[in-house]
């Protein structure tokens, strides 16, 4: 088969390696977060690789994502945490998911779904599994401290009525990539208060969890019973400049084949708006991927790609379908491989490099890349 014009290749061996490394480092069970199509890596494939490496839990944002994991054949513990009123909790309970409630109103919705799904059961109801999310200072999802008592009391009453089991109490950090930020200590202390309040209410959650990837690596006291690792599972550094190198391997490579190579003269300007002008005769290569593939438009004149073992700067603006790179007269031909980013082992840029160039985080680079790119999965550890 001929190589695609432009593609994403995901190495599932890297995912397994990263998950094993994180489990060893954390010393507690790991939830691999696979939301947003596995941060652009392919949710179902990442989920299977994560399980093969021992992931005890998978985490999804939406109910749809969690249901898609079941449809893909995953049978392990799955938590989801982002729903709107009227969502299909009956489907969630039938699929044996752990769902998250932020409020008494959400518990009421889950209760209604639980009693609906009980009616046909010969063996009696299977209690739903509910986790409670508390807001410890992110001011995003979760119950605010003033509402904890009411939420926990209602959750305990539902347990006593056999409606559900409260399987977890959890929260999320705002500044974990900045380990010296005072919010980390404050949030952890607030979380401990929430756990005490839950205990006073009679709740005995199976898992208490607070840490994302950065906290897993940088803040051992935040690991509790379970850590939720997204970005690090994909081999990207959650806190560049703060973490020790634990040998994570970026799983995603984005590559293309040059559509055209041609000479331009000194004084020729390149791409829309003529934002770059050659100061010498050179050759340029046309890379057939642009912002339609999720290549950030901010990368114009700042990012580089690898061609023929060398970094090649993008000249001019990123277009919808293509970008132009400077080949400096080197013997490179149409059809040759261009690596936009990858693990970085052969000198190619990484997603973290692109994040720096584009003033964002690697999460956004890998999650947004896609569009017309094809995506395939390989296993570099599989016998040839
Ligand atoms: C996305 C997400 C995570 C994973 O965060 P990383 O920084 O990618 O490890 C963990 N917990 C919650 C609630 C999330 O939304």
Q: Residue 368: which CATH number?
A: 2.40.37.10
| Ligand 1: nearest atom to the Cα of 141 | 13
pLDDT band at 1 (very low <50, low <70, confident <90, very high): low
Q: For residue range 177-190, what is the model confidence (pLDDT) as tens digits?
A: 999 999 999 999 99
Distance 276 CA to ligand 1 centre (A): 39
Same domain, 19 and 157: yes
Mean pLDDT for 326-337 is: 97
Q: What's the alpha-carbon Rg for the chain, to the nearest Å?
A: 24
Q: How far apart are the first and last CA of the chain?
A: 17
| Ligand 1: nearest atom to the Cα of 216 | 9
Evaluate whether residue 243 is within a structural domain: no
User: Which of these three, 234, 262, 295, is where a domain ends?
Assistant: 234
Q: Judge if the beta carbon of residue 172 lies within 6 A of ligand 1.
A: yes
Evaluate whether residue 41 is within a structural domain: yes
Please give the pLDDT value at position 218.
Answer: 98
User: Which of these three, 234, 264, 284, is where a domain ends?
Assistant: 234
What is the C-alpha separation between 381 and 384, in angstroms, rounded? 9
Please give the pLDDT value at position 83.
Answer: 96
pLDDT band at 223 (very low <50, low <70, confident <90, very high): very high
SS3 370: coil
Same domain, 28 and 74: yes
Q: Compute CA distances 208 → 21, 167, 174, whole Å.
A: 21, 9, 17
- Using the predicted structure, report yes or no on whether residue 119 has a pLDDT greater than 60: no
Mean pLDDT for 113-135 is: 76
Mean pLDDT of the chain: 96
Evaluate whether residue 82 is within a structural domain: yes
Same domain, 221 and 321: no
Specify the CATH number for the domain of residue 218.
Answer: 3.20.20.10
100: closest CA among 58, 126, 72, 131?
A: 131
Please give the pLDDT value at position 195.
Answer: 98
Same domain, 183 and 54: yes
Q: Judge if the beta carbon of residue 168 lies within 6 A of ligand 1.
A: no
- Using the predicted structure, report yes or no on whether residue 41 has a pLDDT greater than 70: yes
Evaluate whether residue 374 is within a structural domain: yes
| Ligand 1: nearest atom to the Cα of 133 | 13
| Count of helices and strands (H, E) across the chain | 11, 19
Same domain, 227 and 270: no
User: Which of these three, 202, 234, 266, is where a domain ends?
Assistant: 234
Please give the pLDDT value at position 120.
Answer: 45
339: closest CA among 308, 371, 296?
A: 308
Mean pLDDT for 6-24 is: 98
Distance 76 CA to ligand 1 centre (A): 19
Q: What is the extent of the structural domain holding 302?
A: 252-378
- Using the predicted structure, report yes or no on whether residue 114 has a pLDDT greater than 90: no
* Whole-number percent of the chain with pLDDT over 70: 97
Say if residues 109 and 85 touch (Cβ distance below 8 Å): yes
Evaluate whether residue 343 is within a structural domain: yes
| Ligand 1: nearest atom to the Cα of 172 | 13
Same domain, 189 and 55: yes
Same domain, 256 and 219: no
Q: Judge if the beta carbon of residue 230 lies within 6 A of ligand 1.
A: yes
Same domain, 163 and 113: yes
Evaluate whether residue 2 is within a structural domain: no
Please give the pLDDT value at position 384.
Answer: 72
pLDDT band at 125 (very low <50, low <70, confident <90, very high): low
Catalytic residue numbers read: 35, 272
* Helices 63-71, 43-52: crossing angle, 10 deg rounding: 70
Q: Judge if the beta carbon of residue 294 lies within 6 A of ligand 1.
A: no
* Whole-number percent of the chain with pLDDT over 90: 95
Mean pLDDT for 264-276 is: 98
Please give the pLDDT value at position 126.
Answer: 73
Mean pLDDT for 161-179 is: 97
Evaluate whether residue 240 is within a structural domain: no
Mean pLDDT for 221-235 is: 98
Same domain, 54 and 146: yes
Q: In the block, which residue shows the tokens 């009616």?
A: 119
Please give the pLDDT value at position 115.
Answer: 77
Q: Judge if the beta carbon of residue 15 lies within 6 A of ligand 1.
A: no
What is the C-alpha separation between 195 and 266, in angstroms, rounded? 67
Same domain, 262 and 349: yes
Mean pLDDT for 208-215 is: 98
Q: Judge if the beta carbon of residue 77 lies within 6 A of ligand 1.
A: no
Same domain, 219 and 274: no
Mean pLDDT for 139-163 is: 97
| Count of structural domains, the chain | 2
What is the C-alpha separation between 278 and 331, in angstroms, rounded? 19
Question: Cβ–Cβ contacts within 10 Å for residue 138, how many?
Answer: 14
């Amino acid at each position: 088969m001929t190589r695609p014009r432009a593609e994403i290749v995901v190495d599932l061996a890297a995912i397994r390696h990263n998950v094993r490394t994180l489990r060893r480092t954390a010393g507690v069970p790991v939830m691999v977060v696979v939301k947003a199509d596995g941060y652009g890596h392919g949710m179902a494939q990442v989920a299977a690789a994560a399980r093969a490496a021992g992931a005890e839990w998978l985490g999804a944002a939406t109910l749809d994502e969690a249901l898609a994991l079941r449809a893909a054949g995953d049978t392990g513990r799955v938590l989801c945490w982002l729903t709107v009123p009227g969502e299909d909790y009956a489907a969630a309970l039938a699929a044996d998911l752990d769902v998250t409630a932020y409020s008494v109103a959400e518990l009421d919705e889950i209760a209604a779904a639980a009693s609906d799904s009980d009616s046909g059961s010969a063996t009696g109801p299977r209690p739903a599994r509910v986790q409670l999310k508390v807001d410890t200072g992110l001011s995003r999802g979760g119950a605010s401290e003033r509402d904890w008592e009411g939420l926990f009391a209602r959750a305990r009453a539902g347990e006593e009525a056999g409606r559900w089991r409260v399987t977890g109490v959890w929260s999320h950090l705002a500044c974990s990539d900045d380990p010296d930020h005072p919010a980390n200590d404050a949030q952890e202390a607030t979380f401990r208060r929430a756990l005490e309040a839950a205990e006073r209410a009679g709740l005995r959650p199976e898992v208490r969890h607070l840490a994302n990837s950065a906290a897993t690596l940088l803040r051992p006291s935040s690991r509790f019973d379970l850590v939720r690792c997204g970005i690090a599972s994909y081999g990207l550094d959650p806190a560049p400049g703060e973490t020790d190198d634990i040998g994570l391997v970026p799983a995603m490579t984005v590559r293309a084949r040059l559509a055209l190579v041609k000479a331009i003269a000194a004084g020729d300007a390149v791409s829309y708006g003529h934002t770059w002008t050659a100061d010498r005769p050179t050759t340029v290569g046309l890379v057939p991927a642009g912002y339609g593939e999720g290549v950030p438009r901010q990368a114009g004149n700042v990012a580089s790609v690898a061609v023929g073992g060398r970094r090649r700067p993008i000249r001019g603006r990123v277009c919808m379908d293509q970008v132009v790179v400077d080949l400096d007269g080197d013997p490179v031909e149409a059809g040759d491989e261009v690596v936009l980013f990858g693990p970085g082992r052969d000198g190619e840029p990484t997603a973290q490099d692109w994040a720096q160039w584009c003033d964002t985080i690697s999460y956004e680079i890998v999650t947004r890349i896609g569009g017309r790119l094809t995506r395939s999965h390989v296993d570099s550890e599989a016998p040839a």
